[in-house]
Amino acid sequence: MTGEADTSPGDAIDAILDQWRRERPDLDLSAMDVLGRLALLTRVVETQVDGMLARHGLGRGEFDVLAALRRSGPPYSLIPSELSATLMMSRAGMTSRLDRLETAGLVERSLDPADRRSFRVTLTGEGRRIIDATLTDHAATLKRLVSGLAPEDVAALTRILRAMMDTAT
């Protein structure tokens, strides 16, 4: 670390670490370095993904529901409890998302023929068109965000992040 001015996001982390090393040289700050950069990167990714989703008229929550339905395969239909479990969210939160998506004509709800006490949520043709177009842009956005890494670096980073998740959970 040279301490020279630079405009890269890492400099904020470097500056913070330099200050802590000066004030608390007794601490190992390597985890702060890694996790601070991950936090900054997460904000950058979220900002770019949110912008891409907005261009398709979606928020993250709506995208998640449409994506879960689309990847479930034909007939692109799930019951709300399956959606809630897949997206790790409450049934109440799911209801408001489904209300917005149904109003927009992207999903439809109908009684579940297998269990008349429940209903099924199904992608409409327009919902499938929107999620397919959005997912194409989403994949391109994410690919662009990792384009500075060599394929072997992507594989190594994936392995490292899996190991970190195993340790953290």
- pLDDT by residue (tens digit) across 100-112? 999 999 999 998 7
H or E element, residue 160: helix 151-168
Same domain, 91 and 166: yes
Tell me what pLDDT residue 114 has.
78
Asked if the model's pLDDT at residue 138 lies above 80, the reply is yes
CATH code: domain of residue 106: 1.10.10.10
What does the alpha-carbon distance between residue 51 and residue 88 come to, in Å, rounded to a whole number?
23
pTM: 0.83
Same domain, 145 and 112: yes
Asked if the model's pLDDT at residue 156 lies above 80, the reply is yes
Number of domains forming the structure of the chain: 2
Same domain, 104 and 169: yes
Tell me what pLDDT residue 134 has.
98
Render pLDDT for 20-44 as a digit per residue (tens, 0 to 9): 999 999 999 999 999 999 999 999 9
Average pLDDT of the residues in 126-141: 98
H or E element, residue 139: helix 125-145
Same domain, 82 and 128: yes
Percent of the residues in the chain that have a pLDDT greater than 70, as a whole number = 94
Tell me what pLDDT residue 10 has.
52
Percent of the residues in the chain that have a pLDDT greater than 90, as a whole number = 79
Tell me what pLDDT residue 51 has.
97
- Opening angle at CA 46, ends 28 and 98, nearest 5: 130
Which single residue is written with the structure tokens 């490292």? 160
Tell me what pLDDT residue 169 has.
85
Same domain, 90 and 64: yes
Tell me what pLDDT residue 118 has.
82
Tell me what pLDDT residue 4 has.
45
Residue span of the structural domain in which 32 resides: 1-55
